[in-house]
Structure 1
Amino acid sequence: MTLSRDGVAAVIGRPIHHSLSPVIHGAWLEAAGLRNQYIALAPETPQAVWALLDSDTLLGCNVTAPYKEVVFDWARPRGVVIGPEAAATRSVNLVRLGDHPRAESTDGTGLLAAIREQAPHLDLAAATVVVLGAGGAGRAAVQAMTSGGATDIRVVNRTRDRALVLAEEQGAGVAGFGLDEVEVALTGSHLLINAASSLETLDLAGMSAGGAVMDMTYRPLETPLLARARARGLTPIDGLAMLIGQARPSFEVLFGLPAPEIDVRRLCLEALEAQG
């Protein structure tokens, strides 16, 4: 395929064959009557990512693992305008190229949208929130919870020092814990956000009744962690809701129009079923 800046956007990551972003954006493009394309690309190295962004190939792109921090490092020395959430999390999931390039992060927006959709009863301002993971996804989750009004956030990481560093960066209301302290952190909590990996042995018994558990991944849609949450009467929040929530503002930045109000979740579920 010969690409030009006239109308092609992409999602870049590695691996990328599993991504549902082309399904989502493709459906919105069709519904909006736009002739643009949205494709998936898998650069093999960080250097290849930088070369792609420096070329005249794309009008912009979404970015997924493992390149969110790579793209942040690309943006800084080039004078690219970096949005506040991307600056706070030091990771980028959206780049608009062209004459006035911008690097943004819509991960926090997507996370908050997923919570509002699937756990509307949850009052973040009154909630104790536990975030598993202190990497880029964990930073995005903490930032989103802070902007959403949470004032009691507990970061749990395999390496306790990384959790403490993140907590210190974020300031008052954020505390760091090691993985061996996870049950202490979960005691009395109202929301658990998994920004690391599903822990098969994680005990959710200490969470407050009526609480919610979110897993950022959507493969499988109901992860073992979400299945355990449901079995305990906790509200599960899946990663697909977050993906769609972060895609909406991305679409408007990339293509200049609000995302059409169509049922892209149904299309994603059909794609997941077809892919097995």
Structure 2
Amino acid sequence: MGEHAAYAAGTYRPRRSVLYMPSSNERALEKAKTLPVDALILDLEDAVAVDAKDLARENACAAAASGDYGRREITIRVNGIGTQWHDTDLAAACAAGPDGIVVPKVNTAKEVKALVRAMEKHGAPDRTRLWAMIETPTAIFNVRKIARESDRLAALVIGTNDLVKELRADHVPGRAPLLTSLSMALLAGRESGIAVLDGVYNNVKDADGFRAECEQGRDFGFDGKTLIHPGQVEMCNEVFAPSAQAVEEAQGIVAAWEAGAGAGVVTVNGRMVELLHVDIARRVLATHEAISLQAATDR
């Protein structure tokens, strides 16, 4: 389902905060049940040592199948295509039936097609969607085709650390070296109606820098941000949620438009409002309602 259809149907799912959790760490998986996070990526890849891959796979699949994580969206990040663990990871993840399977370094639409076929072969339930990580120059140049390839693809996850490495760039405030890549991925995701998630912020002690990058991602149009530490969750949720002022303004715009009964243009607080402004306002309200519903289920 595309983004606009999801909002209209009331099936929009917030993904403000998406936290990587090392699946070899059982205490971390237990702690995740209490975090106010929108989604979890139970990691089998970078955060897991080679000698812990089997344990991590077993833990992640058990967690995904448990139903113990409430309204949180549960995904499993498998090891990359071509690695010695990929096929086993993918088969096990499909059997566990998480909300999503995250695949690192997806570079082409052909790889998306092969992943979807493999998911079907391994009996992944229909609700288990594919999340493709966009982490290389090749992926950026192919991202439009990647985003269009399959209805099973639900999200693009930007791997900013790998992109910085591949570009031979530096991590700098404002992320100037990445702006072209971020924009291309967002354009592709919006055209195809799928979620686009910003990359991680590495310095967990730099709250001001983290907030600034969250605000930049929100202003760019990202659905949310991937995270590496539980301490980043609450600030991320705050930044990516509509503010009280934005909700109030959106309510006023929708009310004025509906009162105008198809006039085509109305005025709200001295501002001319057209249908495009109403669409934005309705998206703000749908996001706010979905977040409020999630908060209510956590009480």
Q: Which range, TM-score by smaller chain?
A: 0.3 to 0.5
More helix by share: 2
TM-score (structure 1 length as normaliser): 0.33
Give 1 or 2 for the bigger CA radius of gyration: 2
TM-score (structure 2 length as normaliser): 0.31
